[in-house]
Amino acid sequence: MNAVAVSEIEHHEGTGKVGITVKDGIIGSLKGINEIEAEIVSLVRNTVSNTLRATGSIAHEAVTVSKDVIKGTIQATEEVGTGLILSTKSVAKGIVMGVSDIGGDVVTVASQTVKGAVKGAAEVGADVAMVARRTVDGVIEATKEVGGNVLEVAKAAVGGAIDAAGGIGNTAVRAVKEILVGVVEGVKDVGGAVLPKPRPETGSPKGHATFTEGEAAEAFKARHKKSRSER
């Protein structure tokens, strides 16, 4: 074997080792992130459920507690300087699971949680659309795990995100609508029921979602009515 061949083999082997090192490092980091997210879910879930048990007024206090948790999350990320997008999914998931643990109204809480996260993101200059997406992901994931009504929660969460974005501006509304179309359509048996498909606007070859919260509700009702008539 000549020197050139040996050099090429050594080069490829070196690249392989570097790739393995990077892969192992990323795996370790991702495992660390998963552990952190699980800890946040557990912390929020236990705090919410214990607080609501202590108050004895689940219906009234659930929304108030969820708002306080979101505020606490935003304050924490402001102090650290980062982490809002990463933490919002876990926080939202913990809130819904905590409310579910004591028999609270997860649909209402889901909507309020998303609204609070979107408003809070705007206040600190974070990516409103990404925070909305992560929060909606969190409430839907939690609802699936606790065996709740995913359709109703998804509808409430998306409506809450759009409503909150409306108080920020048209750009925020467009961004939130566009990112949530993909998220909700990706949830089995939720997309078509909650949000109508994006429809192109006049003069726009690509088009984008132009639905309102009311249109989302009408789409859900129409689909539900159709499915009943087909039985």
Digit-coded pLDDT (tens) for 173-224: 999 998 888 666 666 544 444 444 544 444 444 444 434 444 444 544 444 4
Listed in sequence order, the residues at least 6 apart from 100 whose beta carbon sits closer than 8 Å to its beta carbon are: 106, 142, 143, 146, 148
What does pTM read for this prediction?
Answer: 0.70
Start-to-end Cα distance in the chain: 74
**Contact status, residue 154 vs residue 216, Cβ threshold 8 Å:** no
CA distance 190 to 11: 50
Residue 93 has pLDDT above 70, yes or no: yes
Looking at residue 230, the DSSP 8-state letter turns out to be T
Average pLDDT, the chain: 77
CA distance 85 to 176: 14
Which of 27-36, 46-55, 88-97, 190-199 has the highest average model confidence (pLDDT)? 88-97
Q: Encoding tokens for residue 210? A: 């132009």
Q: Any idea where the domains of the chain sit in the sequence?
A: 3-229
Helix H or strand E segment including 121: helix 106-123
Looking at residue 169, the DSSP 8-state letter turns out to be -
Q: Encoding tokens for residue 22? A: 């990077």
